[in-house]
Amino acid sequence: MGSTTFPRRGLPPPPRIDELAARGLALRDAGEADAPFLQALYAGLRPDEMAFMAWPQALKDAFLADHFRLQHHHFVSHFSGADFWIVRTGVKSTVGRFYLDRSASLWRVIDIGLAPDARGQGLGSALLRWAQAGARDAGAAGIDLHAAVVNARARSLYQRLGFRPEGAAEGYHQRMAWRPR
């Protein structure tokens, strides 16, 4: 992942981790050893984008590796107070990443990404509901995130969970926020 490693917050995850366990989910801090998985996950989230590129596969792979490196650098540089978690099911099955910044009164989902074979099983919903419960319990102002405008499936999920668009879309992303009642 380059010279920018994951920061260590030293804080435990929000309470109610047992709710994730009941869904068969576990979180652990991401580390340098996770780089190959995280890079493959990133590439696996972008097959539709790459399908339009008439590039040789080696060039696509190099492009995705570089873009992953730049995204990672941005995340750890701009969200140094965030939690960078690896999502697991079972004992050894690594299925995704969940990056959550709890350093301000309005928590931010920086990124949530699940491997293609782990999607559509309610895992993303479980992670977001768990974060919402944690934010409510902590007295946070809510949670915000940025959803890709073209990702109707994700935006629909966020809306079902109570996230609402805030402001106009900025470029390719729409800011959405959930506020506890």
4 vs 12 pLDDT, higher one: 12
162: left (phi over 0), alpha (psi -120 to 50) or beta: left
CB 180 within 8 A of CB 132: yes
CB 75 within 8 A of CB 20: no
Closest among 181, 18, 15, 14 to 107, alpha carbons compared: 14
CB 97 within 8 A of CB 112: yes
Q: Which fold has domain 17-178?
A: Aminopeptidase (3.40.630)
97: left (phi over 0), alpha (psi -120 to 50) or beta: beta
Distance of CA 28 to the CA centre of its chain: 13
4 pLDDT higher than 60: no
Reported as a single tens digit per residue, the pLDDT across 50-91 is 888 899 999 999 999 999 999 999 999 999 889 999 999 976
35 pLDDT higher than 90: yes
pLDDT score recorded for residue 3: 47
Strands (E), 6-148: 25-29, 82-89, 93-101, 106-114, 142-148
14 pLDDT higher than 50: yes
Is-above-0.75 flag for pTM?
yes
Q: Could you tell me the residue ranges of all domains in the chain?
A: 17-178
